[in-house]
Amino acid sequence: MLNDFISLLYPRICGGCGVNLWKSEIVVCTRCLSLLPRTGFHLEEDNPVSRIFWGRSAIHASAAYFYFRKGSAVQHLIHNLKYKGRQDIGSYLGFLYGKELLSSTLFRDADLVMPVPLHPKKLILRGYNQSEAFARGISSSMHIPILVKALVRTRSSETQTRKGRYNRWENVSGIFTVNNPSFLHDKHIILVDDVITTGATLEACAEELLAIPGIRLSLVAIAAVTA
């Protein structure tokens, strides 16, 4: 009865469709979870996300959990994660995807997971990094450490929304740096973002990380915009 009363005051809502969750459901309702458009890219070395970076960065492997479509449950999940304080969405999806990454020969030997950082001013304004929430879920299910301060955004950038591919790259080029790079020597790192569109932000991060000797860099996102 107490749980029912608390649920009236603080209802447990599906992050995808907004319906009340059953007691057995976590973060996302069973219907949304079954209908979310999984890509399976983590099982394919050649996939639409990896092709984004061909000729641009020497990425070991790239994948996204879901296809991104406007108006979809995936968009609602990411919007609620990014702007509505629903960090539980990121950590839950990360936990689920981490278990799937363990089944992939491309990702299962990763040493570390690292989120794309926000600028400190934006982090203070938002209160959290949505990519870090996703990365923490992956870290939990893959049983690998998460590094949140190794990669740093040195200056703020404009929103990437409505920018073309070149302008997106120009907007983020040279704005990241790596702290204590010697710690990352010879490591396989999974770099995590929320959505991959043109890959400009991840490419800018990769430019700094791939200068570290012996590093293997893989890229993972909650969702990807594909043709």
CATH number at residue 76: 3.40.50
Say yes or no to pLDDT of 171 above 80: no
132 token code pair = 């870090």
**Residues 154-175, mean pLDDT to the nearest whole number:** 56
Query: Looking at the structure, do residues 169 and 57 belong to the same domain, yes or no?
Result: yes
Q: Are residues 47 and 13 in the same domain?
A: no
> Do residues 4 and 74 both lie within one domain?
no
Residue 185 has which token pair? 């020597």
One domain for residues 75 and 17 = no
Same domain membership, residue 132 and residue 95: yes
The three-point CA angle 78-172-136 to 5° equals 40
Q: Which residue has the tokens 């469709």?
A: 17
pTM across the whole model: 0.88
For the stretch 111-160, pLDDT in tens is 999 999 998 899 999 999 999 999 999 999 999 999 999 999 987 655 54
* DSSP state letter for 220: E
Q: Where does the pLDDT of residue 161 fall: very low under 50, low under 70, confident under 90, or very high at 90 and above? A: low
**Residue 28: beta bridge partners?**
26
Reported as a single tens digit per residue, the pLDDT across 43-88 is 999 999 999 999 989 999 999 999 999 999 999 999 999 999 999 9
**182 and 131 assigned to the same domain:** yes
Taking only Cα atoms into account, the Rg of the chain, rounded to an integer number of angstroms, comes to 17
Is 185 in the same domain as 146? yes
Helix and strand tally (H, E) in the chain? 9, 6
Domain ranges, residue 199:
37-224
> What's the number of domains the chain is made of?
2
